Amino acid sequence: MRWTAAKVGFIAGVGAVLGQAIFKVIPPPAYGICIACHVRDLVNWMMVKLFPGFYGGKFPGGPVSKNFPLLTIVGVVIGAFLAAKLNNEFRWKTMRVAWQRPWMEFIWGMLVCIGALTMGGCPIRTALKTAYLDITAAVALLSILIGVFLGCILIKRLVKIT
């Protein structure tokens, strides 16, 4: 079966709703699938375990992750790794383009996470919240589009130079 992005997106949507409806991935609502929030939950859970006073005694994360963090991201990495290995697409590589070198990517990673937590989720969860009829999330989704548009302008300039 040819896995197209449309089919996988659909499955992700179904999975996210089932998570909240049947498998108790709540509170907070609309939390079934999110890269940024669940990474945040996992990291903060570990930080609180290792350094109990780090956040002043509070747990900054989804309440559902308080006792044991959601392991979405672990599943994603293992699943993707398996898919790559089984299809012979796994290869250690470093990107050649100047703004995709590891040091730059480290900075992009930080900024994207900060931006994502500011707006309340990662792009996937923002889409989920929009489907949950959250108007603020719809505004956030449009802002992502604007940000992408600005980024594309910059990319076009940078590619002309290289």
Site residues for another protein, 54-73, by CB under 8 A, read 54-55, 58, 60-61, 63-64, 68-73
Using CB under 8 A as the binding criterion, the count of chain residues that bind another protein stands at 132
The burial class, CB within 10 Å (0-12 / 13-18 / 19+), for 30 is buried
To another protein, the closest distance from the beta carbon of 124 in angstroms equals 6
Structure tokens belonging to residue 20? 């909240």
With beta carbons less than 8 A apart as the criterion, state whether 12 and 33 touch. Answer: yes
49 binds another protein (CB under 8 A): no
Q: Which of 50, 52, 53, 135 binds another protein (CB under 8 A)?
A: 135
Kindly state the DSSP code that residue 115 receives in the 8-state scheme: H
To another protein, the closest distance from the beta carbon of 52 in angstroms equals 14
51 binds another protein (CB under 8 A): no
**Residues within window 9-38 making contact with another protein, judged by CB under 8 A:** 9-38
99 binds another protein (CB under 8 A): yes
161 binds another protein (CB under 8 A): no
Q: Which of 50, 53, 57, 89 binds another protein (CB under 8 A)?
A: 89
Tell me the C-alpha distance between 140 and 122, whole Å: 10
50 binds another protein (CB under 8 A): no
48 binds another protein (CB under 8 A): no
102 binds another protein (CB under 8 A): yes
Which residue's entry shows tokens 């997106």?
A: 9
To another protein, the closest distance from the beta carbon of 22 in angstroms equals 8
- Please work out, in degrees rounded to the nearest 5, the angle formed at the alpha carbon of residue 51 by the alpha carbons of 46 and 53: 120
How many CA within 13 A on the CB side of residue 124?
A: 20
Give the sign of the dihedral formed by CA 96, CA 92, CA 124, CA 112.
negative
